[in-house]
């Protein structure tokens, strides 16, 4: 500007100075702002930025599977697709609010149609414009395919645009291929991935695997850019649990229990199949069961594992252990004769009855006829401490230690003090104490295997995802319950129970010798505190083959409405389960001819139910007859005496050559065997009378 | 740097004379002998080099995701930088007076390019039509328009001299031409360039001596026009609202400025180090309009301060050249170019720090983009040439000892020591 007049040049310099000043102020404003943002608020912003990009990925490890002893899957985890949407991505490139709203409306309608959702709800979700929205979790495959089509720009009809921002992620879902099979034992897994019941709960730590936290950085579109650490899925995955359960036997057991439950209208039914030599639990079932795939639909009551959680007064089964104790202690000689007081014995102020009136009986007969009086005499001879400690040695009053939640220990001394004489007597035939089905099975296994109380094994081993064994449960003897020779002797005595004249004839089977004990225990009525007249626990616990036991089966029926006696109700169940299982396991029938060749079982309603449900599946012995058929030779049908007074009833029964056994007074309310059942001539019929109310 | 004004043969000399004819000030015969302003040249070269580094650092993510080549933007910006540096030095040796004759052809062709852009021949990107495709080259006419307008305003203002103060001759024509450019930019739409053009016009009118009242009036009108254009376009209004309430819109409309501020902040005082910034994952166009955010993240407040200092130096040296220019045309050119750098830098930085609402504006020399870089380098070359002509040989400044004594005796001889000495001969020519 040297060509300008000085005055103008001066003004220009001044104006330039003013403008430079303004610019400098602007720059200064920026610098002070930068100071505030960077130096003063820097750490806070850095934190925000870190939170934005750092993603702690919770890598959900694959939950381990549960297998049966042969490797069949009982519980597995499957990947199920879930749909998420990033609305910011969906709206990318559309800036006008009205166009955005239109796009959201259009996308909502199409997504709702594909996912079978309500379009308005989808629209409400999308309108929040969040970067991560679950649209629908755990969708079936066809819906996932439709979502893929919606998101694929090449697959669109003309005029339609692909929906951006959709993604399909896999989420783990627990699946139980056997549905109801072993339901209460397996339990279920809540949506948060935690086991909530059964094995899923007790083995949760092992099954769940290591919840790995991985650090990564994600970009604007939510993609992981890189992540630290190797993702060795197998190292993170949960362990597999291998059960001792045999799926095949479990199938048989659950089918039979279901039939029994419906036939006898029981409140509940429990059944355990064990290998007495190893203590392995081959089957463990109770009704009612539930399907853990839809655990939400089931009653909490149904999810209970009643085999271990329900305790009850076992009744006569305990006589086995009373006898064992007395034999082991030497207070009972196998050849001894005991006077059974003709069926009525007064102890202190309590009168004890026997079902079968007898006088002098050998121990084997006491067992076979299930004489309470004979048993209590043996027990009192042995003494309270001896009986109590014997029961303890058989594992009663302590948890069996199965890895399942909610196991009951049972109570031997409910008052917490040694039994009085009457209590000892009661305990000897299983009243006044409580046990679980599992305890009975374990204790009976000790008789079967030569006196060793085995640790019951439900889980055989745990392996990691690569198949390496993490932990194993080899057979383990907890203690010697009784000496081997006593156990052997007991086994022999127990075979008499299922022989002719015993209470457990219904449990006998062709080709295999059965040893076992029936029980029909009165249930205490919680309302009155006394024993209920019509509520029973019918059970049968036994093993087979008696000479070389392969299976121990404990059957407990809780409050059957039809029938009452353990021999009649639980016996057939035992037989069918044991028979199927032995056949399944390929155990050859023994060469010895069955001790009972011709036992009529036509009075067993369960057979009929089974016949209609599963025709000809189980090839039943040719001796089976239907109720309507002519009675076999030397048998007669039990007459129907219901409603008759005692005298008429006795006459009616006696007239066909049967021996009546009378209980109570008044009108006949129950009789056993059931009316119409064919029974051998000369057998006794139990008649129960009650005063008319 | 031994660049000199090239002396040409006779025909060129004739053209030069023709070009410079209306000017009262002739180009300095000695100008070719003088060195360039080394500080200015170094500043420009440093900024271009730094820009290539920052573009690389900021663009690796986008390059990888969009072009499967982390160096995609580096290669392009590197090529642009080489061309820009070559043009920078080439322009600096061409006497700026030669631009004089080219003013209208340049202004006209840039106007045509802008019209072509608006007329639908442009190449769209990011919701705006700002580019013209010439074969493989995309040019951004708005970037050309800035330099063209500055050169035309310098020409016109220096020619009109004292008449600048009048409304019809001095004020209105400039505003109309600038207004046409501004409207064409708005049509693209390129709000940022429009604002810069308007500010440049006012700046130069103010410096040339236009009445402050006119400028204020025009500013008020311009602001009204700006408000109208913001309110009339719903997306602009929404962006403005988002800027006003950034926290509420950090996921949608204010996403970019929010991420930009976060980027600055996470750099802290000393930054994360070059190439270590991670906000490029989140900041869209990080290598472009928001490259300053990446500078803030990777070099921290110290780096931002240094960058500001460099821009300050650039503008200061430019204004110094304007003050020392041999004629008012040179002064206007130098000041206009300096203001162009300064205004764009301050606006861009303020947008990056969310002090101002988002508008498309590049950071001169740093941001990715060929048109912007090359046009800025050309402008810097012109500025360098002006700076070269403003200085005088030391021989003029060396007074004889007795004269020094006599001058000291006269106190009324100027407030500065150097200025009167330097400028004295020119005044005589002008008067």
- Both B146 and B208 in a single domain? yes
Which of B209, B232, B255 delimits the end of a domain? B232
Which residue in A16, A43, A45 is closest to B207 by CB distance? A16
Contacts of B427 in chain A (CB under 8 A): 2, 6
* Per-residue model confidence (pLDDT) at position A274: 95
Taking CB atoms and an 8 Å limit, are A35 and B308 in contact across chains? Answer: no
Is residue A247 a contact partner of residue A284, using CB atoms and an 8 Å limit? Answer: no
Q: CB contact, 8 Å: A23 with chain B?
A: yes
- Both A397 and A317 in a single domain? yes
Contacts of A11 in chain B (CB under 8 A): 209
Q: CB contact, 8 Å: B412 with chain A?
A: no
Cα angle at A19 between A13 and A23, to 5 degrees? 140
Residue B281 lies in a domain: yes
Q: Which residue, among B85, B153, B145, has the nearest Cα to B118 in the 3D structure?
A: B145
Residues B56-79 have a mean pLDDT of 86
Residue A45 lies in a domain: no
Residue A469 lies in a domain: yes
Cα separation, B58 vs A251, whole angstroms: 66
Q: CB contact, 8 Å: B327 with chain A?
A: yes
Cα first-last separation, chain B: 36
Nearest residue in A to B325, CA atom = A1
Contacts of A3 in chain B (CB under 8 A): 23-25, 326-328, 426, 429-430
Q: What is the CATH number of the domain that holds A366?
A: 3.40.710.10
- Both B142 and B200 in a single domain? yes
Q: What is the CATH number of the domain that holds A678?
A: 3.30.10.20
Active-site residue, from A316, A358, A491, A580: A316
- Both B320 and B261 in a single domain? yes
Cα separation, A288 vs A302, whole angstroms: 5
Cα separation, A468 vs A239, whole angstroms: 10
Residue A618 lies in a domain: no
Q: Quick one: residue B398, left, alpha or beta (phi over 0 = left, psi -120 to 50 = alpha)?
A: beta
- Both A278 and A221 in a single domain? no
Identify the DSSP state of A130.
Answer: -
Q: Which of A14, A30, A86 to mutate to test the interface with B (most CBs of B within 10 A)?
A: A30
Contacts of A165 in chain B (CB under 8 A): none
- Both B387 and B258 in a single domain? yes
Residue B430 lies in a domain: no
* Per-residue model confidence (pLDDT) at position A214: 65
Residue B12 lies in a domain: no
Interface subset of B 122-181, CB within 8 angstroms of A: 127, 162
Identify the DSSP state of A683.
Answer: -
Residue A648 lies in a domain: yes
Q: What are the pLDDT digits (tens) for B290-337?
A: 889 999 999 999 999 999 999 999 999 999 888 888 888 888 999 999
- Which residue has tokens 């053209």? B15
Tell me the shortest Cα–Cα distance from A20 to chain B, in angstroms.
Answer: 8
Taking CB atoms and an 8 Å limit, are B430 and A3 in contact across chains? Answer: yes
The count of domains in chain B is 2
The whole domain housing B359 covers: 37-93+245-392
- Both B264 and B328 in a single domain? yes
Max CA separation in chain B (angstroms):
75
Cα separation, B314 vs B331, whole angstroms: 16
**Is A316 one of the annotated active-site residues of the chain?**
yes
Taking CB atoms and an 8 Å limit, are A19 and B339 in contact across chains? Answer: yes
- 10-residue mean pLDDT series, chain A (693 residues): 76 89 93 91 85 68 88 86 81 78 88 88 85 80 84 76 78 84 90 86 87 68 58 74 93 91 88 94 90 86 88 92 93 89 87 86 89 92 92 93 90 88 91 93 94 94 89 93 93 89 86 90 81 87 92 92 82 91 87 46 48 38 35 65 72 71 73 74 75 63
Q: CB contact, 8 Å: A8 with chain B?
A: yes
- Beta strand residue intervals within A419-514, DSSP E: 435-436, 452-454, 459-463, 469-472, 477-480
Nearest residue in A to B334, CA atom = A1
Contacts of A16 in chain B (CB under 8 A): 207, 319, 322-323, 335
Q: Which residue, among A305, A272, A270, A193, has the nearest Cα to A238 in the 3D structure?
A: A193
- Both A329 and A459 in a single domain? yes
Q: Which residues, 6+ apart, have CB-to-CB distance to B85 below 8 Å?
A: B45, B48, B377
Quick one: which H or E segment has residue A218?
A: strand A212-218
- Both A513 and A642 in a single domain? no
- Both A355 and A452 in a single domain? yes
Which of B178, B205, B232 delimits the end of a domain? B232
Cα separation, A46 vs A561, whole angstroms: 73
Q: CB contact, 8 Å: B353 with chain A?
A: yes
Q: Which of A8, A23, A129 to mutate to test the interface with B (most CBs of B within 10 A)?
A: A23
Q: Which residues, 6+ apart, have CB-to-CB distance to B415 below 8 Å?
A: none
Which residue in B265, B316, B431 is closest to A45 by CB distance? B265
- Which residue has tokens 């700046």? B203
Taking CB atoms and an 8 Å limit, are B322 and A16 in contact across chains? Answer: yes
Tell me the shortest Cα–Cα distance from B110 to chain A, in angstroms.
Answer: 27
Nearest residue in A to B331, CA atom = A1
- Both A108 and A33 in a single domain? no
Which of B200, B232, B264 delimits the end of a domain? B232
Q: What is the ipTM of this complex?
A: 0.82
Where helices occur in A330-371 by DSSP H, the ranges are 363-369
Interface subset of A 53-82, CB within 8 angstroms of B: 53
Tell me the shortest Cα–Cα distance from A121 to chain B, in angstroms.
Answer: 22
Taking CB atoms and an 8 Å limit, are A38 and B268 in contact across chains? Answer: yes
Q: What is the CATH number of the domain that holds A235?
A: 3.90.1310.10
* Per-residue model confidence (pLDDT) at position A233: 62
- Both B133 and B212 in a single domain? yes
- Both B261 and B383 in a single domain? yes
Is residue A213 a contact partner of residue A57, using CB atoms and an 8 Å limit? Answer: yes
* Per-residue model confidence (pLDDT) at position A599: 45
Tell me the shortest Cα–Cα distance from B332 to chain A, in angstroms.
Answer: 9
Cα separation, B110 vs A61, whole angstroms: 64
* Per-residue model confidence (pLDDT) at position B2: 46
Residue B24 lies in a domain: no
Which of A560, A585, A610 delimits the end of a domain? A585
Residue B125 lies in a domain: yes
Q: Which two tokens stand for residue B334?
A: 């130098």
Of the two residues B127 and B355, the one the predictor is more confident about is B355
Q: Which two tokens stand for residue A473?
A: 């449960």
Taking CB atoms and an 8 Å limit, are B350 and A41 in contact across chains? Answer: no
Q: Which two tokens stand for residue A313?
A: 């007064």
Contacts of B234 in chain A (CB under 8 A): 96-97
Residue B289 lies in a domain: yes
Of the two residues B422 and B372, the one the predictor is more confident about is B372
The whole domain housing A31 covers: 6-40
Q: CB contact, 8 Å: B51 with chain A?
A: no
* Per-residue model confidence (pLDDT) at position A242: 95
**pTM for the structure as a whole:** 0.55
Residue A674 lies in a domain: yes
- Both B249 and B387 in a single domain? yes
Residue A51 lies in a domain: no
Cα separation, B281 vs B273, whole angstroms: 16
Contacts of A37 in chain B (CB under 8 A): 261, 264-265, 296, 353
Decide if pLDDT at B402 tops 80.
Answer: no
* Per-residue model confidence (pLDDT) at position B207: 87
Which of A523, A556, A585 delimits the end of a domain? A585
Decide if pLDDT at B398 tops 90.
Answer: no
Interface subset of A 115-174, CB within 8 angstroms of B: 129-131
Tell me the shortest Cα–Cα distance from B157 to chain A, in angstroms.
Answer: 12
Q: What is the mean pLDDT of chain B?
A: 79
Which of A203, A226, A243 delimits the end of a domain? A243
- Both B106 and B72 in a single domain? no
- Both B291 and B264 in a single domain? yes
- Both A205 and A353 in a single domain? no
Percent share of chain B, pLDDT over 70: 78
The count of domains in chain A is 4
Decide if pLDDT at B361 tops 60.
Answer: yes
- Both A209 and A99 in a single domain? yes
Distances (CA, A) of B324 to A3, A312, B94, B422: 11, 112, 18, 9
* Per-residue model confidence (pLDDT) at position A515: 93
- Both B88 and B115 in a single domain? no
Which residue in B206, B266, B301 is closest to A35 by CB distance? B301
pLDDT band at B60 (very low <50, low <70, confident <90, very high): confident
Which residue in B206, B262, B355 is closest to A45 by CB distance? B262
Which residue in B207, B279, B300 is closest to A15 by CB distance? B207
- Both A182 and A295 in a single domain? no
Residue A612 lies in a domain: no
Residue B28 lies in a domain: no
- Both A274 and A395 in a single domain? yes
Cα separation, B101 vs B99, whole angstroms: 6
Taking CB atoms and an 8 Å limit, are B207 and A220 in contact across chains? Answer: no
Q: What is the DSSP string of A52-120?
A: HHEEEEEE-PPPPPEE-TTS-EEEEEEEEEEEEE-HHHHTTT--SHHHHHHHHHHHHHHHHHHHT--HH
Contacts of B268 in chain A (CB under 8 A): 38-39, 42-43, 46
Taking CB atoms and an 8 Å limit, are A38 and B251 in contact across chains? Answer: no
- Both B254 and B342 in a single domain? yes
Residue A602 lies in a domain: no
Burial A357-376 (b: 16+ CB within 10 A, else e): bbeebbbbbbbbbbbbbbbb
Q: What are the pLDDT digits (tens) for B179-214?
A: 889 888 888 778 888 889 989 998 998 888 888 888
- Both A132 and A30 in a single domain? no
* Per-residue model confidence (pLDDT) at position A543: 95
- Both A251 and A239 in a single domain? no
């Amino acid at each position: 500007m040297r060509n300008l007049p000085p005055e103008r040049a001066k003004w220009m310099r001044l104006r330039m100075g003013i403008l430079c000043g303004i610019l400098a102020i602007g720059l200064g404003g920026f610098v002070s702002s930068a100071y505030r943002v960077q130096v003063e608020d820097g750490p806070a912003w850095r934190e925000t930025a870190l939170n934005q990009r750092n993603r702690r990925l919770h890598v959900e490890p694959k939950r381990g599977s549960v297998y049966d002893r042969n490797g069949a899957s009982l519980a597995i985890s499957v990947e199920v697709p879930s749909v998420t949407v990033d609305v910011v991505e969906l709206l990318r490139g559309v800036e006008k609010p009205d166009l955005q709203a239109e796009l959201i409306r259009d996308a909502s309608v199409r997504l709702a149609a594909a996912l079978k959702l309500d379009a308005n709800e989808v629209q409400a979700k999308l309108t929040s414009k969040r970067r991560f929205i679950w649209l629908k979790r755990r969708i079936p495959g066809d819906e996932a395919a439709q979502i893929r089509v919606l998101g694929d720009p090449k697959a669109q009809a003309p005029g339609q645009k692909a929906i951006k921002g959709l993604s399909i992620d896999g989420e783990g879902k627990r699946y139980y291929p056997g549905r109801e099979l072993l339901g209460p034992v397996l339990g279920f897994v809540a949506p948060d991935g935690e086991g909530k019941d059964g094995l899923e709960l007790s083995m949760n730590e092992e099954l769940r695997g290591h919840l790995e936290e991985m650090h990564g950085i994600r970009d604007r579109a939510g993609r992981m850019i890189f992540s630290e650490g190797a993702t060795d899925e197998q190292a993170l995955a949960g362990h597999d649990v291998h059960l001792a359960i045999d799926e095949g036997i479990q199938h048989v057991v659950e089918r039979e229990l279901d039939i029994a439950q419906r036939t006898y209208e029981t409140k509940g039914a429990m059944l355990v199949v064990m290998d007495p030599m190893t203590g392995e639990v081959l089957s463990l079932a109770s009704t009612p069961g539930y399907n853990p795939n839809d655990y939400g639909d089931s009653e909490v009551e149904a999810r209970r594992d009643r085999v271990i959680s329900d305790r009850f007064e076992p009744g006569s089964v305990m006589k086995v252990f009373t006898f064992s104790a007395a034999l082991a202690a030497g207070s009972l000689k196998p050849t001894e004769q005991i006077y059974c007081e003709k069926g009525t014995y007064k102890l202190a102020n309590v009168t004890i009855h026997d079902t079968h009136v007898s006088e002098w009986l050998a121990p084997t007969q006491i067992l076979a006829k299930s004489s309470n009086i004979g048993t209590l005499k043996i027990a009192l001879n042995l003494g309270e401490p001896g009986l109590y400690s014997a029961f303890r040695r058989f594992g009663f009053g302590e948890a069996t230690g199965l890895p399942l939640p909610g196991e009951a220990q049972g109570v031997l001394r409910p008052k917490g003090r040694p039994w009085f004489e009457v209590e000892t007597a009661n305990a000897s035939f299983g009243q006044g104490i409580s046990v679980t089905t599992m305890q009975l099975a374990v204790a009976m296994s000790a008789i079967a295997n030569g006196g060793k109380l085995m640790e019951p094994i439900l889980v055989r081993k745990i392996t990691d995802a690569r198949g390496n064994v993490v932990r194993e449960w080899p057979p383990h003897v907890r203690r010697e319950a009784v000496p081997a020779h006593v156990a052997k002797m007991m086994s022999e005595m127990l075979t008499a129970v299922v022989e002719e004249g015993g209470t457990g004839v219904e449990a006998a089977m062709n080709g295999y010798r059965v040893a076992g004990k029936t029980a029909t225990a009165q249930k205490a009525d919680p309302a009155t505190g006394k024993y209920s007249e019509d509520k029973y626990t019918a059970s049968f616990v036994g093993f087979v083959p008696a000479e070389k036991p392969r299976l121990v089966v404990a059957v407990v029926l809780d409050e059957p409405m039809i029938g009452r006696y353990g021999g009649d109700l639980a016996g057939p169940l035992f037989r069918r389960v044991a028979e199927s299982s032995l056949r399944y396991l390929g155990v050859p029938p023994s060469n010895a001819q069955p001790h009972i060749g011709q036992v009529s079982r036509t009075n067993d309603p369960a057979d009929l139910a089974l016949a209609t449900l599963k025709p000809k599946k189980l090839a039943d012995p040719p001796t089976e007859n239907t109720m309507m058929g002519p009675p076999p030779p030397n048998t007669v049908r039990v007459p129907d005496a219901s409603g008759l007074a005692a005298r008429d009833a006795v006459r009616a029964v006696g007239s066909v050559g049967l021996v009546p056994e009378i209980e109570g007074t008044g009108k006949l309310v129950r009789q056993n065997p059931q009316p119409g059942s064919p029974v051998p001539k000369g057998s006794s019929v139990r008649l129960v009378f009650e005063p008319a109310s | 740097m031994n660049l000199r004004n090239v002396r040409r043969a006779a025909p060129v000399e004739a053209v030069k004379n023709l070009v410079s004819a209306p000017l009262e000030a002739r180009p300095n015969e000695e100008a070719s002998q003088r060195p360039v302003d080394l500080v200015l040249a170094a500043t420009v070269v440093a900024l271009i080099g730094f820009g290539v580094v920052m573009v690389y650092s900021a663009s690796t993510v986008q390059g990888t995701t969009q072009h499967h080549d982390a160096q995609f933007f580096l290669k392009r910006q590197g090529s642009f930088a080489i061309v820009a540096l070559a043009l920078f030095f080439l322009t600096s040796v061409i006497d700026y007076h030669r631009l004089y004759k080219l003013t209208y052809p340049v202004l006209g062709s840039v106007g045509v390019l802008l019209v072509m852009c608006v007329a639908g021949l442009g190449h769209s990107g990011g919701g705006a039509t700002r580019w013209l495709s010439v074969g493989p080259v995309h040019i951004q006419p708005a970037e050309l328009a800035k330099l063209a307008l500055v050169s035309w305003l310098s020409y016109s203002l220096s020619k009109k001299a004292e008449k600048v103060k009048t409304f019809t001759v001095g004020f209105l024509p400039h505003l109309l031409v600038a207004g046409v450019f501004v409207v064409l930019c708005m049509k693209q739409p390129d709000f940022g360039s429009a604002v810069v053009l308007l500010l440049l016009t006012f700046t130069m009118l103010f410096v040339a001596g236009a009445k402050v009242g006119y400028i204020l009036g025009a500013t008020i009108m311009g602001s009204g026009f700006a408000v109208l254009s913001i309110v009339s376009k719903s997306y602009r209004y929404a962006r403005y609202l988002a800027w006003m309430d950034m926290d509420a819109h950090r996921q949608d409309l204010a996403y970019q400025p929010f991420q930009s501020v976060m980027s600055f902040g996470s750099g802290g005082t000393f930054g994360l180090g070059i190439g270590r910034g991670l906000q490029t994952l989140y900041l869209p166009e990080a290598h472009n309009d928001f490259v300053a955010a990446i500078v803030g993240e990777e070099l921290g407040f110290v780096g931002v301060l240094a960058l500001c200092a460099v821009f300050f130096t650039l503008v200061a040296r430019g204004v110094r050249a304007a003050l020392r220019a041999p004629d008012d045309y040179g002064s206007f050119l130098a000041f206009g170019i300096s203001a162009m750098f300064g205004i764009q830098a301050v606006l861009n930085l303020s947008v990056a720090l969310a002090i101002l609402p988002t508008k498309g504006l590049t950071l001169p020399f740093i941001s990715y983009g060929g048109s912007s870089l090359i046009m800025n380098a050309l402008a810097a070359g012109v500025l360098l040439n002006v700076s070269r002509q403003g200085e005088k040989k030391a021989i003029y400044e060396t007074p004889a000892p007795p004269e020094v004594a006599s001058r000291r005796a006269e106190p009324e001889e100027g407030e500065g020591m150097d200025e009167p000495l330097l400028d004295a001969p020119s005044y005589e020519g002008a008067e």
